[in-house]
């Protein structure tokens, strides 16, 4: 288990460094949230519960974060005003339509609607997902994400997370 924990921490550092080169505040938010979660992740023995336990730990970490007043979280039962940072959690299969536990497609669509409403306030968006389909992303979402980030003050990152590692799937 120790080897897997080291792999996770190494991959986390790589992701944070990649995002920090584009958006230091977004990397700081991600770092703070994941650092608070990593201890819980290291204690998850049942990898079948990784998605639900990790999602719950991230939600709790955001609620306790010093940035909580600057973050909108999707999905969330709390509908708030526009915020500087948007965090999406897609911890289900790519196309899951569950409102409580959506997949990437649903979260990306919610966030796209949020961008239209909040484009003057939102600067940074990160989607953390456990399911990735590069072909579907290229076909249906890449152009939308690229269009939103055309302005230099906008950053969008998609991070794929597994029980043992993290990787950046999109960053612009």
Task: Give the domain ranges of the chain.
Answer: 2-171
H runs (alpha helix) in the chain:
2-22, 24-42, 50-63, 104-118, 134-140, 142-148
Q: What is the pLDDT along the chain (172 residues), one digit of tens a residue?
A: 456 667 888 998 999 999 999 999 999 999 888 877 776 666 655 566 888 888 988 998 888 888 888 999 999 877 678 999 999 999 999 999 999 899 999 999 999 999 999 999 999 999 999 999 999 999 999 999 999 999 778 999 999 998 888 999 999 9
In this prediction, residue 45 carries a pLDDT of 56
Structure tokens at 104: 């990437």
Query: What is d(CA 77, CA 132) in angstroms, rounded to the nearest whole number?
Result: 25
Q: Is the pTM of this model over 0.75?
A: yes
């Amino acid at each position: 288990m120790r080897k897997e924990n080291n792999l996770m921490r190494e991959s986390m550092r790589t992701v944070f460094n990649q995002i920090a080169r584009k958006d230091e505040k977004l990397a700081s938010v991600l770092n703070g949230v994941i650092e608070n979660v990593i201890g819980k992740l290291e204690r998850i023995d049942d990898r079948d519960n990784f998605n639900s336990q990790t999602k719950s730990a991230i939600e709790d970490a955001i609620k306790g974060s010093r940035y909580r007043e600057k973050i909108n979280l999707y999905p969330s039962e709390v509908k708030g005003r526009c915020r500087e940072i948007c965090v999406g959690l897609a911890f289900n299969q790519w196309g899951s339509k569950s409102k409580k536990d959506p997949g990437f497609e649903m979260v990306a669509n919610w966030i796209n609607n949020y961008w239209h409403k909040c484009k003057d306030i939102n600067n940074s968006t990160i989607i953390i997902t456990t399911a990735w389909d590069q072909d579907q992303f290229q076909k249906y979402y890449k152009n939308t994400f690229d269009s939103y980030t055309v302005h230099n003050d906008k950053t969008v990152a998609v991070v794929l997370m597994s029980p043992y590692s993290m990787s950046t799937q999109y960053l612009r």
